[in-house]
Copies of this chain bind each other. A is one copy, B any other.
Amino acid sequence: MAEKSENFPDESAGKDKEIPNGGNSAKTKEDFDLASVYVSDAQYNRNIYFDTSPQAVRLYLLYNHWLPKVLLYFFILVVLSLAVFEEPAVLPLPMWATMLVELLCVLVFTFRLAHYARVIPRDKFWKDAKNICIMVVLMLTMVDMIIYGSLKAANCYALRWSRVLRPLLLVNVTEGRQLRRAFRSIRNALPQIFYVFLLFMFSVLMFSLMALKLLGKRGLTTINGAPYFTNYLEIVFDLYVLVTTANSPDVMMPAYNSSFFFAIFFIVYILINTYIFMSVFLAVVYNNYKKYLKEEIRQLVRAKRHKMVRAFAVLQERREEGGEPVVTQANWNQVVRLVRSDISNAHRELLWSVCDDKNQGFIGKVAFVQLADLLNIEVITLKTRPHPLQRLCPAFYLSAPSRLLCRMVQHRAFVIVYDLIILVNAVFIGLDEENPMIANSEWVFLALYLIEILLKLYVFEPRGFFSRHSFWNWFDTIIVVSALIATIVNSTLKSSGGYTSRQILDIVFILRVLRLIRVVDSIKRFRTIINTLIRIGPAILTFGQLIIVVYYVFAMVGMELFKNKVRFFEDPSDPAAANCGNALLTGTTFAQLHYCKNNFNNVVSSFILLVELTVVNQWHVLSSGFAIVTHMSARIFFVFFHIIVVIVIINIFVAFVLEAFFVEYSVDKSDLQTSLEKKIEELELAVEQENLQDNLVDAMETIDNDLGADQSPREKKPSLMFKIASKRYRTVDALLQRMFEADLDPDDFAENEDPNAQTDGNFANPTFSSV
């Protein structure tokens, strides 16, 4: 339960420290640093119990800087990808080289950990399970390296067993919060899953017993002539595989061929075990996932509020004796500037005007606490500058033909025409490119796409067109320009030496096809679905990490167990190619289906094999193949992988996508007002006085690619506009928070607060008053 406490590190931080600058004295740089650290921690939901001494705060700021973080992840990547170069290697490197790199990585991780130890109090450091875990991993790695090195030097058999531990670094670094949370929610769901799994296995065992009794004595044979359903353990395996549907209907055919009635047995089996039990697994996983995540998010929200209250305590001053403590605009500005130096002055003023809606020049605690959420709302600043051409030669740019051109490009028909061009292009791509007419048509299409981009740049303000959020504009331009470059390179090569690089041609083809994707964006219904997918994308990355951790462990174990048992021969005429270089595989389905390249001989093919096992189909052929070359019990490895990855992790992934989609749908359709969106509405009101509300709402709906459309040079616009990407969240936590916010009981937050906090508009400070 050590991880659990991670959510409340600041709880007792006030113990050994009195309120800094509680009075009206001027704030020092240290105060601003401390406050900005609290705000930034609240914004990103970091829960690190750091020392509040100025020196530690400076170290902590350095610790949170993006550069060491990126370096850390880079070295984690390096240590993980060492598997590519280590025996069994894709690209073999001498042992000393990989050892040296690994040593370097271990040093980096040690340094990072030492840095962390300086930031947080000593006793907290030793109580935190994730630090202990990293230290143990690093120490075991060193031990393993020494043993391995000396054994190798003595030419003995040696095993790099510590490689299995490497992904633990990814989980236990401070930044791996999302990943740890995913693991925790899995661990919490395990007991429930376990009981359903036991019942499910009981069902499989019962059906196997029945199958043995019904079919074992009938003298049936499989396609290969082997006896059918005579060995109980084989039946259990076959029926387990049937649950995954991978051997359907083959496993049924011998029985079905002998009598119609046996089909009933298999249909009942599939109904109960595949359909009902697998749905129950999903239901159990989904239910638990939701329940525990909700609890964690609740704690996160509470911790966030605590941090903001502490930041407020640092910055507060009293306007008059006995009055409520407040934060002045100057101090607030200073902190916001420190926390997010990337936002513009205007944007900051907008945020201030939301906080200080009475325009008093200072804000109380309630308004201040909102800041973390406000910073998490993506506000897009639109500067309605005139087009550069308009500034350079207004006479030309504002002339009648130029205006006509602008109107044409902005017209709906322009989009339709280009959609048609894309469709024609798709047909041309499908045709044979050896035909010179078709090969040359490529230049026409390239030219058309280039013209489109240039026209749009002529009409829309370039900086607006290429703003950070204009995903499709960026996408278009990059694809078209790369296609142009690749096509030119390709034809240069072709015309110079008659030689065409296959790689470049591949890139050209991929780019051509990718260009067609743009058509999706012009259909509104598709855009909604795509936007939803893009929005849940970052959160899906957490699952990507989760999968990589699990895959890595299985790949390392699999490589030790199965390496070089099955080999792939590039030359199909090699006699060894027919049985994958292993006589035991002669005549097996594994060899017949040319599965030799599906092996554990290096980390890349191991990963690909694990993906195939995740997809499930034919996994029984793969697992049987490896069982034949080693031992029947090798199947346990594959069944275990199936249970972990398919039954648990994939179901959690499905649960996450379901939940995320429901949130997106309910927000799209029913205007569910989460607290974040209420704030956005206030922001919209602040902009409404400029009479652009409708345009803003439109722009929100049709999101990025229409961004420039508001800025036609004809209309008179205010020089600065804000657009709120209301459904965007800067962090995964913010999305999760929103996912469960509707379900959270507001009273739960009030738990640690003064009971009259909501009414008098001020929080009691639990951290300072209750201890």
Within 8 Å of chain B (Cβ to Cβ): is A657? yes
Chain B residues within an 8 Å CB radius of A433:
213
From DSSP, what is the main secondary structure of chain A's interface residues?
A: helix
A267 within 8 A of B: yes
CA distance A274 to B657 in the complex (A): 13
List of B residues within 8 angstroms of A279 by Cβ: 653-654, 657-658, 661
- Contact between B657 and A611 (Cβ–Cβ < 8 Å)? no
A618 within 8 A of B: yes
Asked if A295 CB lies within 8 Å of chain B CBs, one says no
By CB atoms of chain B within 10 A, which of A260, A283, A657 has the most? A283
Interface flag for A246 (CB, 8 Å):
yes
Q: Which residues on the B side are within 8 Å of A568 (C-beta)?
A: 257
Q: Is A688 an interface residue (CB 8 A)?
A: no
Q: How far is the CA of A268 from the CA of B198 in the complex (A)?
A: 34
Complex contacts, A618 vs chain B, CB 8 Å: 248-250
Given the complex of chains A and B, what is the CA–CA distance between A223 and B596 in angstroms?
13
Instruction: Knowing A276-B533, A429-B209, A653-B275, say if A249 contacts B287 (CB, 8 Å).
Output: no
Pick the interface stretch among A93-101, A512-520, A675-683, A692-700: A512-520
Q: Is A199 part of the contact surface with B, judged by Cβ < 8 Å?
A: yes
| Complex alpha-carbon distance, A195 and B611, angstroms | 29
Is the CB of A529 closer than 8 A to any CB of chain B? yes
Q: Is the CB of B250 within 8 A of A513?
A: no
Which residues on the B side are within 8 Å of A270 (C-beta)?
Answer: 611, 615
Q: Knowing A209-B426, A430-B212, A533-B280, say if A658 contacts B286 (CB, 8 Å).
A: yes
The answer on a CB contact under 8 Å between B248 and A198 is no
Q: How far is the CA of A286 from the CA of B252 in the complex (A)?
A: 32
Contact of A214 among B510, B604, B658, B662 (CB under 8 A): B510
Within residues 650 to 684 of chain A, which ones have a CB less than 8 A from any CB in chain B? 650, 653-654, 657-658, 661-662, 665
Are A253 and B595 neighbours in the complex by a CB distance under 8 Å?
Answer: yes
Q: In the complex, which residue of chain B has the Cβ closest to the Cβ of A525? A: B195
Given A267-B611, A611-B267, A653-B275 in contact, is the A210-B510 Cβ separation under 8 Å? yes
In A581-622, the 8 Å CB interface with B consists of 592-595, 597-598, 604-605, 608, 611-612, 615-618
| A562 interfacial by beta-carbon distance below 8 Å | no
- Complex CA gap A253/B257 in Å reads 31
Q: Across the two chains, which residue of chain B brings its CB closest to A568?
A: B257
> How far in angstroms is the closest Cβ of chain B from A293?
15
**Smallest Cβ distance from A19 to chain B, in angstroms?**
41
Contact indicator A657/B280 (Cβ below 8 Å): yes
From residue 477 to 517 of chain A, which have CB atoms closer than 8 A to chain B? 506, 509-510, 512-513, 516-517
Interface string of A545-574 (1 = CB under 8 A from B): 000000000000000000000001000000
| Known A-B contacts A526-B198, A526-B199, A661-B283; A513 and B249 likewise in contact (beta carbons under 8 Å) | no
Cβ-defined contact, A513 with B223, below 8 A: no
**A245 in the interface, Cβ–Cβ < 8 Å?**
yes
Name the CB-closest residue of B to A596. B257
- Contact A661 B287, beta carbon cutoff 8 Å: yes
Would B245 and A665 count as touching, CB distance under 8 A?
A: no
Residues of B contacting A148 with CB < 8 Å? none
A287 near B665 (CB under 8 angstroms)? yes
Residues 227-257 of A at the B interface (beta carbon under 8 Å): 232, 245-250, 252-253, 256-257
Contacts of A284 in B (CB 8 A): 661
Cβ-closest chain B residue relative to A283: B661
On whether A658 and B283 interact (CB within 8 A), knowing A210-B510, A248-B617, A615-B245, the answer reads: yes
Residues of B with C-beta under 8 A to A658: 279, 282-283, 286
List residues of chain B with CB within 8 A of the CB of A595: 249, 253
Chain B residue numbers with a CB within 8 Å of A592 are: 223
- Residue A749 at the chain B interface, CB threshold 8 Å: no
Chain B residue contacts of A283, Cβ below 8 A: 657-658, 661-662, 665
Q: What separation, in Å, do the CA atoms of A213 and B605 have in the docked complex?
A: 25
State whether the Cβ of A202 lies closer than 8 Å to any Cβ in chain B. Answer: yes
A454 at the interface (CB under 8 A from B): no
A509 touches B213 (CB 8 A): yes
Whether B615 lies near A617 (C-beta < 8 A) is no
Complexed CA–CA distance, A198 and B529 (Å):
11
Interfacial residues of chain A within 265-294, with CB under 8 A of chain B in the complex: 267, 270, 274-276, 279-280, 282-284, 286-287
Residue contact B615 to A274, C-beta cutoff 8 Å: yes
Query: Is the Cβ of B604 less than 8 Å from the Cβ of A260?
Result: yes
CA–CA, A653 and B206, complex, Å: 25
Task: Name the distance in Å between A590's Cβ and chain B's nearest Cβ.
Answer: 12
Most B CB within 10 A of own CB, among A199, A270, A517: A199
CA distance in complex: A448, B170 (Å): 58
Determine how close the nearest CB of chain B comes to the CB of A585; give it in whole angstroms.
Answer: 15
Chain B residues in 8 Å Cβ range of A764? none
A539 in the interface (beta carbon within 8 A) = no
- Asked if A196 is at the interface of the complex by the 8 Å CB criterion, the answer is yes
Asked if A140 is an interface residue, CB under 8 A from chain B, the answer is: no
Q: Can you list 19 A-B pairs, Cβ within 8 angstroms, ordered by A? A: A195-B525, A199-B526, A209-B516, A210-B509, A210-B510, A213-B510, A214-B506, A245-B616, A246-B617, A248-B616, A249-B615, A257-B597, A274-B615, A279-B657, A282-B654, A284-B661, A286-B662, A287-B665, A617-B617
Q: Which 5 A-B residue pairings sit nearest by Cβ, starting from the closest?
A: A283-B661, A213-B509, A279-B657, A248-B617, A249-B612
Chain A residues close to B by CB (< 8 Å): 195-196, 198-199, 202, 206, 209-210, 212-214, 223, 232, 245-250, 252-253, 256-257, 260, 263, 267, 270, 274-276, 279-280, 282-284, 286-287, 426, 429-430, 433, 506, 509-510, 512-513, 516-517, 519-520, 525-526, 529-530, 533, 568, 592-595, 597-598, 604-605, 608, 611-612, 615-618, 650, 653-654, 657-658, 661-662, 665
Q: Kindly list 11 other residue pairs between chains A and B, CB separation below 8 angstroms, not including A223-B593, A245-B616, A249-B615.
A: A195-B526, A199-B526, A206-B513, A210-B509, A210-B510, A212-B430, A256-B608, A257-B568, A263-B608, A282-B658, A283-B657
